[in-house]
Structure 1
């Protein structure tokens, strides 16, 4: 082709900026901001609650999307035919098997069909990414400009969507915690408001109580009285467990439904008590020893099968205060050092075959609603905590693992729980049961709106209570 011919062909192509507002009409998405990325082969769209189903002998998929970045109050339900399932490597190098759909896109004056993969893009800067396959022979990108074809912003985008439907019976729900900016707390507030409820963040440290048989009350700093509350969601930091549970009990005495009650939270936070409760219910766990005197160290080590073994502080949380002792001599030194500081410790069997991997099962109202596999960032590390750099991925539970997770949450009396399980050669073993499990990792791994499922559980319980 001559230079003149090449220039003529280029002049027919649509020139776009590095980001554009687009429309996906068949998905009922009138306005969504897309990042134009010629470095990515495939286009992708934010999706969660992804479910495949059969229709007229063909595979379809239904999913939900929050079309506006950093706004989960607006949600859209979408449905499309699946044309493929494809392994796609994300920008962080993780390969993921995604559904692929074919859908029309409108950008400027042009409309054409593009292939789009579905994935949870909550952690990304844009709800949609337009890759080079969708732009081939049609588009030229000017990376120095933005929004050449439609002027809009997030406020305009909000108005293009139907406002969230109000719940038939809106509730006043308190989120009892210490930090309103944490991901999990923000998600719960957003999920409740998206379902039409009044969500009230209450800092547990700013509460004080009138303990009275005639009129129990909870006051907030400044003298305001919390009244007409339908439900409370306790999300208590370990350091505030005692006082937080006292406030939770006060809510209960006022007739307020508590998603997790104070007794259940206290039981799950006491590592020794929680293991004793699991043991009483016949739930498998690593062999654990507990003693008061350093004189019992040798027998304690023998009790759990010898080194290597795990030494845990009773007051430790989120992997802090947990030590792997690889030899008997190291185990004796660590145990005796802790004992000399008058620290209460557990000595626990080390499950070698787990290899730094565990399962976090999210249980709500007696059902496992999501599970992620957590892998330690360092192959030599024995802890898989996400906040310590651990990686998460989607995993399917065996029936035995699911049964174990549900039984563990029930043993603690928790309506909402994160149950941590090790996969051993003798079956699943429960490490611990968390009464305030984080949402960020589980929502990213499963693509599910876990926060909304927590709100649904409250709706169900409060409705049953009022009947």
Structure 2
């Protein structure tokens, strides 16, 4: 007992043989085995023995530094996480240095990118060597910011910026070109990935994403998804795979899926007290007349659940016309929403561009004469507008409900206040940048820098 040293709840560890000069660990006597964050794990043979190659982001909240490691595989174990979920993990054995002490340690390779610490020091490593005082930190030694910058200097100069992928379908669209230009202007490397040319390997030990010809995509810091509706299912599967590999995704797959399901999104908005035009949904054609009456009768809007950019949206000016259109859609098993028509809007609506919980630009859209929908893709005109505080709060709340980091929020002004029309998870930039003069593409890139703690003039953020 007298020979045991004291550790705090956080300590710096050094793995010389794996090339990790410093990694901060949470000391947890409640966990049996120590673990380390590992991505892109791959098993290889060395002189008849199994070894594991893997990548570690050793500094907290900093994915711009990656250490490529390898260590001998000694086991595969079923480990139960703190949330109670059991999973198989690879186990390696390697020397660790804690202050002046150096000894062998077993590490399970875990996906810890979303956790506060990139390493957990368990009781097997502590037993017989250390006592833990949870009220103190860094008793085995401290690494200053200057020292860390010095230690990781060789990893920093190799890369002047982030490596970003734009996941979309058409590289020539205005929005996609602007995003790529903005990333390049800020010193980042950005590549265009066609959603339909990427494919994935689902494997617990070595998951992968490959691209046209077998190239492995494993070095991205961030993904900007701009998925067109027709490839939502596959695009979101790719986004989940990138997320599993530890890549930051500007909009998550879950958020995009929710926003694309207009019925589910409407139900979420209603649950969170976000006011929308009165909306109806039904399966059977038997109650079409009551469905129309329920949304205050004609004129009314009929829209396909998968409609986008104003397509698949119909104005029925009479009850009879509404019945005919609704029953026609139902006869071909097409899901539709029926929505009240806001006459007092006079063909105008508002598009708010929300990034990271802030409205960064707003424009008013005016429908062409004879049109009921103010959509730029349908010939509408755009102009800058100053929104009210109520409209701003509505736009921000709607994106939070869907958990979107980037969104175009469409609002309509009615006699009973602002109403939410819909939220677009891949909003276009051309109309709103031209109308407002705001550099929205640049704001999207700086948001990624903020999320990844990247500073152009400061390579390490601790």
Shorter chain as denominator, the TM-score bin is 0.5 to 0.7
Give 3-state SS (helix, strand or coil) of 1:410's partner.
Answer: helix
Distance (whole Å) between structure 1 residues aligned to residue 222 and residue 278 of structure 2: 38
Cα distance, 1:315 vs. partner?
A: 1.9
Query: Partner residue of 2:376?
Result: 386
Q: Give the unaligned 5+ runs of structure 1.
A: 1-165
Distance (whole Å) between structure 2 residues aligned to residue 296 and residue 252 of structure 1: 44
Distance (whole Å) between structure 2 residues aligned to residue 415 and residue 169 of structure 1: 25
Query: Partner residue of 1:411?
Result: 401
Residues 372, 392 of structure 1: 8 Å contact kept: yes
Distance (whole Å) between structure 2 residues aligned to residue 311 and residue 180 of structure 1: 32
| 1:423 aligned onto 2:383 | no
| 1:438 aligned onto 2:428 | yes
Query: Partner residue of 2:163?
Result: 172
Cα distance, 1:447 vs. partner?
A: 0.3
Distance (whole Å) between structure 1 residues aligned to residue 351 and residue 205 of structure 2: 43
Cα distance, 1:168 vs. partner?
A: 9.2
Query: Partner residue of 1:234?
Result: 225
Q: Give the unaligned 5+ runs of structure 2.
A: 1-156, 455-459
2:252 to 256, 261, 276: 261
Residues 310, 377 of structure 2: 8 Å contact kept: no
Cα distance, 1:177 vs. partner?
A: 0.3
Query: Partner residue of 2:241?
Result: 250
Structure-1-length-normalised TM-score = 0.63
Cα distance, 1:169 vs. partner?
A: 5.5
Cα distance, 1:466 vs. partner?
A: 7.3
1:187 to 160, 163, 178: 178
| 1:365 aligned onto 2:320 | no
Cα distance, 1:167 vs. partner?
A: 13
Residues 233, 259 of structure 1: 8 Å contact kept: yes
Instruction: After superposition, give the CA deviation of every residue in 1:58-88 in whole Å (9 maximum; x if it has no partner).
Output: xxxxxxxxxxxxxxxxxxxxxxxxxxxxxxx
Cα 1:406/1:374, change in 2 over 3 Å: same
Distance (whole Å) between structure 2 residues aligned to residue 178 and residue 328 of structure 1: 40
Cα distance, 1:412 vs. partner?
A: 0.8
Instruction: After superposition, give the CA deviation of every residue in 1:378-425 in whole Å (9 maximum; x if it has no partner).
Output: 2x3111110111100000000000000000111111000000000111
Cα distance, 1:219 vs. partner?
A: 0.1
Q: Which deviates further from its counterpart, 422-431 or 314-323?
A: 314-323
1:211 to 184, 202, 205: 202
1:273 to 254, 257, 264: 264
Give 3-state SS (helix, strand or coil) of 1:243's partner.
Answer: helix
Query: Partner residue of 1:142?
Result: none
Q: How many residues align?
A: 301
Distance (whole Å) between structure 2 residues aligned to residue 435 and residue 224 of structure 1: 28
Cα distance, 1:289 vs. partner?
A: 0.3
Residues 211, 217 of structure 1: 8 Å contact kept: yes
Q: What RMSD in Å do the two structures reach over aligned CA positions?
A: 1.6
Structure-2-length-normalised TM-score = 0.64
Residues 167, 196 of structure 1: 8 Å contact kept: no
Instruction: After superposition, give the CA deviation of every residue in 1:21-40 in whole Å (9 maximum; x if it has no partner).
Output: xxxxxxxxxxxxxxxxxxxx
Distance (whole Å) between structure 2 residues aligned to residue 255 and residue 361 of structure 1: 30
